[in-house]
Structure 1
Amino acid sequence: MASPSPKSPEQNEKSKQYDRQLRLWGDHGQAALENGHICLINANALGTEIIKSIVLPGVGSVTIIDENIVSDEDIGSNFFLECSSKGLNRGSEALRLLLELNPAVQGHAVQEPPDQILKENPEFFKSFSVVIASSLSERTIQDLSQHLWDINIPFILCRSVGFLSLFRIQLKEHAVIETHPENEQVDLRLDVPFQTLADYLNGFDIDAVELKDHGHIPWIIILYKAVQKWQITNPNSWPMSRKEKNEIRSIVQEFIRKDENGVPINEENFEEALRAVNTALLPTFLPVKIQELIYSSSATNLNKDSSPFWIMCSALRGFIEAEGKGKLPVRGVLPDMTASTEHYIKLQNIYRAQAVIDAEIIYRKVQQIVAQLHCESISEADVKLFCRHTHDLYLIKGTCIATEYQLGGSVASYIARYLEEPDVMMVHYILLRAAEMFRSEHNRAPGDWEPEADIAKLKTCVTKLLSDISCSPFPKDDHIHEMCRYGGAEIHSVSAFLGGCVAQEAIKIVTKQYKPVNNMFIYDGASTNTATFTF
């Protein structure tokens, strides 16, 4: 094989710039981000903090929609505006300074209200990977969310008033292949070893290993041999209970060599084997969540518009029912362990080779499906990535924000159930919704002019919302007084915190890695409490 050509200076500089994030989502994740196009509606303090944290990691391009003119209030709360920006378009000014953070990012500013764009050019939003909006009217929120739902564009709605802030993610369907679980389960197949693994493990004789090499036996072999010995008295069984696993530990202890004084020699690989009993000896099974995916109607009733994810799920089902004999493809990843280089590489190659075989079978099935449906081809690299992560596939089927604003049926009962709990964060959602209603009715934020006089008006909005979901009025007006005291102002530290959170979720959606919040996140800056809810 020819040696790879050296990387260009530009690639080296890029790798240095994005080194830490490349460790999180890899080259392919970075490529997806660089192909992404984010739309922000309203460049207020929250909006610019969101875009800042998307520009820095290198999103391909951003578009800011904002028809507002920079005011003194904007300059006071927004780090991405200057005193010289006063009187100019807020979106253009914020974009100019945001793009200085990363010259590789492209930027566009649109000086039109979003409701006008929706009315005159609804196709405009189809080009975006994610649309993020802040400070919208109730009517615009409903119209925009419904339109983005219809064209299947992810939407993140944000609010930040005083110490309160939240975001709500609208995803029609979002599949995540690389979920990056914190505790990824090892896939060793010791209970049902494939042929090459069985041949290797059965051909290994622990008793024949010399003392000097005894501490370099991989713990996978140690556990397999311990189970084999255990099965002499427990035929056709697998250690499942605590008692049975303790029996395996006792057998492992018997394998440990002793010195001339009869004292067991402390060998790290045997300590690893003892620690791995609970995790490595889990039986191989098909997770229920994966069964639900591969046998869902989306995977069984394919058409030419089916996404690559569902096509690969269908091919996976075919593999499991035939070649896989009820099991997922081998992951092909071996955990670190104390072992000789020879033993470790041999084992590693065995697992990798089987993973390649399984992925090749599934790839051929994918090609057959693509040919039958006459749809776009799916690369072998994408299929291999899918096979590597089949144990942890994740799917979100969300709800439309517009239906949430109708406050009927399951949404009303869901909110009412949480409001029954004392000091629950759901009360902040009601307050922020009531503040939106107030702004729609009075064309200003509650408390913007007369905080005291606005308390009764805001209370009316809160009472109406609670009435719509059949809830009793708040026993105290403390929260309403506090909302009026904010006067609709943004506190930059609160917006900065939420902005970082929203940017993180947007990056998850664009890269299709890690599980995004499903679907609402609330932050109370006064108590630093957070909560998530799923409508």
Structure 2
Amino acid sequence: MSSPAPKSPEQSDKSRKYDRQIRLWGEHGQSLLESSTICLLNATALGCEVLKSLVLPGIGGFTIVDGNVVTEDDLGINFFLDASFLGQSKARACMQLLQELNTDVNGDFVDESVDWILSNRPAFFDTFDVVIASNLNEKALWGLSDRLWEANIPFIYCRSLGFFGSIRLQIKEHCVIESHPDNRQYDLRLEQPFPALQKHFESTEITSKVPWLLVLNKFLQVWRQKYGGHFPANYKQKSELKEMIRAAMTADEENYEEAIKAVNTALGGGNVPSSIKSIFQDNACTNLNKQSSPFWIITKALKEFVENDNNGLLPLPGVLPDMTADTEPYITLQNIYRQQALHDADNVYRKCQKYLKELGLPEDTISEKTVRLFCKEAAGLAVLRGTKISDENAKSSNILSFVDDLEIQGTLAEHYVALRAYERFVSECGNVPGECYVENDVKELKTVASKMLSDWGVHASISDDLIHEICRYGGSEIHSISAFIGGCVAQEVIKIVTKQYKPIDNTFLYNAITSETTTFKL
């Protein structure tokens, strides 16, 4: 019998444990996740589902704030509670059971209400990376929104009510380097080859064993000679280039086939997209100060590099797609791109050091590794600036544009208003609509919703069916809805703490009755 294979020295136990997610956000993303702490306000079924989806991938720590005890109603909707916890602290019980999912995660709890924390310990929230809340009345929501906005702490408010769910992200500014675009274009620089690449093109013989990039470049030059130095710019011209390559094939040559397939996607790399131009023009980029984040300092250096040193092109990422070729010519080509990418990144890094010196900031504020990643991902940079939840309390142009239609009935705009009215009802009446008397609360909730719309200057109404549906739920959660919304919220938290992928901007609504979702910005 053969001996078992030895453990790979390159992969730790933790790397094996989190292997699948590390493939999504890398070791550096996992490190950020493991160093983050989250605060959950109210241990509802939704809140526990959010934490479950953060504890399993290894969030650094979490604290549950809830002043209630476990009741019979909790047992029917929250899978993280059982009868043995009846009458005990809900925060403690949920913390204990959630922590069992992953011993790497630190859990804590506070047996106090959100209102008490806001009134007596407002600085309590300042140590967390993200605060998540559910099941708040309007007064507590506005107070929490103001406090977290002032402290510049990302805040996610989520709801799960019957068959309806929502997520609202409040964040002042969120800068993303690794946005992971769905349709990523490789930057091959065929239109403007850098000197090392041009030399390689000129000195390499085209055979069936070289990467398709060289094949495409050869015929691209032939096409340009025919058409006065221009590059193919439309479908017809690119089709003609494809036919030119196909006509030159003498056998079943895979690199020629790959070159034909790549014609539509291999051109145009390195150009600055409009989204990046707007970031370059942002006031935070043009006017640096001592409080500027590393993101904006690197962006300023990147802008200078593009405009003054690189003919208006972004730094070369240095990444090549897979190509059918012999190993040696492919690795040679790969090294040429990598060396140029390092050269560009080093140029940007030197400019960063210049700005740090001008601002009187330490040299180690920005590392070479960070700049190299920044340059590699330069085409997909993103900046999100949010709005404050409490500003929705006043007449807002964003809200008006969302519910501007005189007939909002039957749309998710109607559900947004109904959920807002639900929270105002709880604040004004002191109980959940439908908790005791459904029919009486239907009339009161409709009055609250009508007044809210009137305050916004919107001449519309909420359907009686939706008002009755809200009251019929009596504030209850359906676990499948809470699980779905909880997974979505956890996904947004991971985006924020790893600074990868673009989070929602800034509101998400879900109607499980019609399986309808929408996102919009308030």
> TM-score interval w.r.t. the shorter chain?
over 0.9
CA gap 1:389/1:420 in 2 versus in 1, 3 angstroms? farther
- 3-state SS of 1:30 partner: helix
Q: Is the 8 A contact 1:132 1:156 kept in 2?
A: yes
Equivalent residue for 2:83? 83
CA gap 1:280/1:425 in 2 versus in 1, 3 angstroms? same
Q: 1:429 aligns with which of 416, 420, 427?
A: 416
Q: 2:258 aligns with which of 255, 267, 272?
A: 272
- 3-state SS of 1:232 partner: helix
Deviation at residue 7 of structure 1 after TM alignment: 8.4
1:25-174 alignment to 2 at 5 Å? Answer: 25-174=25-174
1: CA distance between counterparts of 2:462 and 2:30? 50
Deviation at residue 11 of structure 1 after TM alignment: 6.1
Say if 2:376 is the partner of 1:388.
yes
- 3-state SS of 1:279 partner: coil
Deviation at residue 112 of structure 1 after TM alignment: 1.8
CA gap 1:338/1:420 in 2 versus in 1, 3 angstroms? farther
Equivalent residue for 2:390? 402
1:309-348 alignment to 2 at 5 Å? Answer: 309-348=295-334
1: CA distance between counterparts of 2:360 and 2:62? 34
Deviation at residue 267 of structure 1 after TM alignment: 1.7
Q: Is the 8 A contact 2:40 2:132 kept in 1?
A: yes
1: CA distance between counterparts of 2:407 and 2:498? 38
1: CA distance between counterparts of 2:397 and 2:31? 40
- 3-state SS of 2:403 partner: helix
2:211 is aligned with what amino acid?
A: P
CA gap 1:38/1:7 in 2 versus in 1, 3 angstroms? farther
- 3-state SS of 2:265 partner: helix
Deviation at residue 95 of structure 1 after TM alignment: 0.4
Deviation at residue 422 of structure 1 after TM alignment: 5.8
Deviation at residue 146 of structure 1 after TM alignment: 1.2
1: CA distance between counterparts of 2:51 and 2:11? 24
Q: 1:415 aligns with which of 402, 427, 434?
A: 402
- 3-state SS of 1:179 partner: coil
2: CA distance between counterparts of 1:505 and 1:190? 37
Say if 2:483 is the partner of 1:496.
yes
CA gap 1:306/1:418 in 2 versus in 1, 3 angstroms? farther
1:440 is aligned with what amino acid?
A: S
2: CA distance between counterparts of 1:533 and 1:475? 20
Say if 2:337 is the partner of 1:351.
yes
Deviations 1:76-124 (A, max 9, x none): 1111111121111111110010000001101111112223222333222
1:209-248 alignment to 2 at 5 Å? Answer: 214-248=207-241
Deviation at residue 380 of structure 1 after TM alignment: 1.1
Deviations 1:19-62 (A, max 9, x none): 11011101000000000010100001110010010000000010
TM-score, normalised with respect to structure 1: 0.93
Deviations 1:135-194 (A, max 9, x none): 112111111111111111100001111111101001100011101112111100000000
Which shifted more, 177-186 or 461-470? Answer: 461-470
State the percentage of identical aligned residues: 49
- 3-state SS of 1:481 partner: helix
2: CA distance between counterparts of 1:255 and 1:511? 48
Q: 1:305 aligns with which of 291, 294, 313?
A: 291
Deviation at residue 371 of structure 1 after TM alignment: 1.9
2: CA distance between counterparts of 1:56 and 1:474? 43
Deviations 1:262-300 (A, max 9, x none): xxx222211111111111123642112111112211011
RMSD value over aligned CA atoms? 1.7
CA gap 1:421/1:447 in 2 versus in 1, 3 angstroms? closer
2: CA distance between counterparts of 1:90 and 1:477? 35
Deviation at residue 471 of structure 1 after TM alignment: 2.8
1:322 is aligned with what amino acid?
A: N
2: CA distance between counterparts of 1:237 and 1:200? 22
2: CA distance between counterparts of 1:9 and 1:129? 33
2: CA distance between counterparts of 1:521 and 1:419? 22
Deviations 1:492-517 (A, max 9, x none): 11111100100010011000011111
Q: Is the 8 A contact 1:240 1:282 kept in 2?
A: no
Deviation at residue 375 of structure 1 after TM alignment: 2.6
Q: Which segments of 5 or more consecutive residues in structure 1 lack a partner in the other structure?
A: 1-5, 207-213, 258-264
2: CA distance between counterparts of 1:225 and 1:275? 15
1: CA distance between counterparts of 2:451 and 2:512? 26
Say if 2:15 is the partner of 1:15.
yes
Which shifted more, 377-386 or 231-240? Answer: 231-240
Deviations 1:297-356 (A, max 9, x none): 101111111011001001101111222121110010000111111111111000000000
Q: Is the 8 A contact 2:406 2:460 kept in 1?
A: no
Q: Is the 8 A contact 1:295 1:317 kept in 2?
A: no
Deviations 1:396-454 (A, max 9, x none): 01111010122x13033123236645631111111111111111122111110011221
1:373 is aligned with what amino acid?
A: L
- 3-state SS of 2:264 partner: helix
Q: Is the 8 A contact 1:415 1:469 kept in 2?
A: no
CA gap 1:344/1:11 in 2 versus in 1, 3 angstroms? closer
2: CA distance between counterparts of 1:283 and 1:104? 43
Equivalent residue for 1:262? none
Q: Is the 8 A contact 1:419 1:426 kept in 2?
A: no
- 3-state SS of 2:208 partner: helix
Equivalent residue for 2:3? none
Deviation at residue 8 of structure 1 after TM alignment: 9.2
CA gap 1:283/1:507 in 2 versus in 1, 3 angstroms? closer
TM-score, normalised with respect to structure 2: 0.95
Say if 2:447 is the partner of 1:457.
no
1:256 is aligned with what amino acid?
A: M
Q: Is the 8 A contact 1:85 1:93 kept in 2?
A: yes
Equivalent residue for 1:210? none
Equivalent residue for 1:249? 242
Equivalent residue for 1:211? none
Aligned length: 515
Q: Is the 8 A contact 1:311 1:366 kept in 2?
A: yes
2:442 is aligned with what amino acid?
A: I
Which shifted more, 430-439 or 187-196? Answer: 430-439
2: CA distance between counterparts of 1:295 and 1:366? 18
1: CA distance between counterparts of 2:465 and 2:163? 14
1:243 is aligned with what amino acid?
A: K
CA gap 1:419/1:497 in 2 versus in 1, 3 angstroms? farther
CA gap 1:392/1:420 in 2 versus in 1, 3 angstroms? farther
